[in-house]
Amino acid sequence: MDIEGYVKRCLNNKIPENKIIEDGFKRITEIKTDISEDIAKEFVNAVISEVKTINSYKSIKDSKLKYLLDCIESDVKMGEMGGGSRGEGDFFIHKQIARIIESTNQNTIVDSREQDDGGVVRADSKYTVVAIDGTHSRLSDFPFLAGFHVCRACLRDVFVMGADPVALISDIHLADDGDVSKIFDFTGGICAVSEAIGVPLVAGSTLRVGGDMVLGDRMVSAVGAIGVINDNLPTSRVRAEVGDVILMTEGSGGGTISTTALYYGMFDVIYETLNVDFLKACKSLIDNNLLKYIHVMTDVTNGGLRGDAYEISKTATVSLEVDKDKIYNLINPKVLDMLNKLNIDPLGVSIDSLLIIAPKEHADIIMEKTGAKIIGEVKEGNISFVIEDGKKIPLIPEFREAAYTPVKKVVEKMKPSTEEFEIMKEKVKKSCDDAIKKKELVKELLNKNI
C-alpha cells in the first residue's frame, strides 16, 4: 500500500482532507495492526502536508527549475506498454533507454544500443564487463530463491560476453512491514551461487521500498556482476555471421520457471532449476580457451528464444533458423512437461539455456566441453524462423513474453491493438526526447560551473 500515492490520488480528485484521513487511517491499521488510530491519523495528516508542499513546486517562478522537476507524463502506463514483460513493448522501452545512454558511450566496446544484457568497456589491455539483473517480482515471498536465481542471471550475462566474473554486488529494498529475515534469506541465496562458482559478493545496499510511505512486505532487489576479458573479443550479438551454426545447452529454467511452478502448485519442478550448469558450461569454455572460436553467446531468457532471436537478428542483420524439435529436446523434461500441461509456449518463456553461435568447424569441440547440441544455422536476412514439420514459421516476440502464471494469463487479454500500440510508441518516444532535452540542459549548467 503506497500511502503517498493514495493521498496524491485523493487530492487530485478533490476529496476533502478529513475524508482522506478517515479512510486512510483504516487502510494503515489493516496492515499496521500494532499502532493506534490516533497515530495512524497523525501519519496520514503528515503525508497530506508533505504532498501539498511537494505539489507546490508547480507554482515556482523559476521556469528552468520547474522544467527539471516536472516529469512530463507520456500518458502510457508501464503495464499497458508491457514494460518488464520481455516482449515487443518492453524491447521498445529499452531502445528508448539506449537513446538516452548513447551519448555516454564514447569509450564503450559493447553498450545498450546493441541490446546485450552486459556492457563492455576497455580497461588498459583488458575488457571489463558489467551487468545487473532485477529479482523476479513474484519471488518476493521466496527471498532465498529470488537471491539464487538473480545471482545466476547476472553471472550469466557476464559469462556470455566472454568474461570471467570476479565480483558480485547486491541491492535489496524491503517495504516497511517486511520481516528483516528476507534480507538474510536473499543474501543466502546469492551466496549459494557465489560459493558454488567461486565469485565473491563484495558490496551492496539495503533500503526500504518508498521509505516510510509504502506499507506491506514487498521486496524488490537486484544483483550485479563484474567480469574481465583477458585475451579475446567480447562475444556480443552483433558478431553473428552468415554460415555460423547455432548451438544450445539444456535449459532447466530459473526465476521464471520457479515462479510458474510456485503459482501453479507444481512445486517439485523447482528442484530442476537449482543448478549452476549454465555457469559451469561457460567456465569450461574459458578454461579450455575456446572463446576465440565463438562469435556470440547469450542466455535464452528475454522473452525466451523468440525474444533473443529477434534481438540478434535486428542487431547483427542476420536470420536465425532453428529446429523446433531439437530445441524441445534440450528443455529439461520436467520443465517441458509443465509448460505443455499449462499451455505455455516454450519458445516464448525464459528457459535459461546457453545459446552459442560459432563457425561450423568449431562446433564439435564446443559441444564436447559444454554438452550443447546444434539446433540451427545463421542465414541471410533480418527475421528469424523456427522450422516445424518442414515449414518455416517466423520466430518473433509477442507483445509480452508467454503468460506463465494465472494472473499473467488474464493480463495477456489486455494487450493493445496494433493501432493503439503505435500511438503508445510515439508517446513513449516523445517522453524519451524530453528526458534527453533535460540532460542537455543540465550539461550546459554543469559546463558553466566548471
370-398: pLDDT as tens digits: 999 999 999 999 999 999 999 999 998 87
Q: Residue 112: what pLDDT? A: 56
Residue 385 grid cell: 524462423
Q: Do 205 and 163 contact (CB within 8 A), yes or no?
A: no
pTM of the model: 0.88
CA pair distance 430, 445, nearest whole angstrom:
23
CA pair distance 145, 147, nearest whole angstrom:
5
46 contacts: CB under 8 Å, gap ≥ 6: none
CA pair distance 362, 409, nearest whole angstrom:
42
Letter for the amino acid at 265?
Answer: G
Q: Do 331 and 351 contact (CB within 8 A), yes or no?
A: yes
Q: Rounded to 5 degrees, what angle do the CA atoms 424, 302, 328 make?
A: 130
Q: Residue 404: what pLDDT? A: 82
Q: Rounded to 5 degrees, what angle do the CA atoms 412, 418, 301 make?
A: 50
Same topology, domains 117-234 and 235-414? Answer is: no
Q: How many other C-beta atoms are found inside a 10 Å radius of the C-beta of residue 323?
A: 16
Distance of CA 426 to the CA centre of its chain: 23
Asked if CATH classification 1.20.1250.20 holds for the domain at 117-234, the reply, yes or no, is no
Q: For the chain, what are the domain ranges?
A: 3-69, 75-104+416-450, 117-234, 235-414
Q: Residue 106: what pLDDT? A: 67
Per-10-residue mean pLDDT, the chain, length 450: 92 94 91 90 93 90 88 89 81 87 73 63 80 91 96 94 93 93 96 96 93 90 93 76 96 94 96 95 93 91 87 90 97 97 94 95 96 96 94 87 84 87 94 93 84
Asked if CATH classification 3.40.50.2300 holds for the domain at 235-414, the reply, yes or no, is no
CA-based nearest residue to 218, from 372, 1, 405: 1
Residue 194 grid cell: 557465489
CA-based nearest residue to 154, from 136, 141, 174: 136
Q: Residue 253: what pLDDT? A: 94
Q: Do 93 and 83 contact (CB within 8 A), yes or no?
A: yes
Distance of CA 282 to the CA centre of its chain: 21
Burial category of 416 from C-beta neighbours within 10 Å (exposed 0-12, middle 13-18, buried 19 and up): middle
Burial category of 100 from C-beta neighbours within 10 Å (exposed 0-12, middle 13-18, buried 19 and up): middle
Q: Do 277 and 370 contact (CB within 8 A), yes or no?
A: no
44-99: pLDDT as tens digits: 999 999 999 998 888 888 988 988 888 888 999 998 888 877 778 888 898 898 88
Q: Residue 111: what pLDDT? A: 58
Three-state SS letters, the chain = CEHHHHHHHHHHCCCCHHHHHHHHHHHHHHHCCCCCHHHHHHHHHHHHHHHHHHHHHHHCCCHHHHHHHCCCCCCCCHHHHCCCCCCHHHHHHHHHHHHHHHHHCCCEEECHHHCCCCEEEEECCEEEEEEEEECCHHHCCCHHHHHHHHHHHHHHHHHCCCCEEEEEEEEEEECCCCCCHHHHHHHHHHHHHHHHHCCCEEEEEEECCCCCCECCCCEEEEEEEEEEECCCCCCCHHHCCCCCEEEECCECCCHHHHHHHHHCCCHHHHHHHCCCHHHHHHHHHHHCCCHHHCCEEEECCCCHHHHHHHHHHHHHCCEEEEEHHHHHCCECHHHHHHHHHCCCCHHHCCCCCEEEEECHHHHHHHHHHHCCEEEEEEECCCCCEEEECCEEEECCCCCCCCCCCHHHHHHHHHCCCHHHHHHHHHHHHHHHHHHHHHHHHHHHHHHHHC
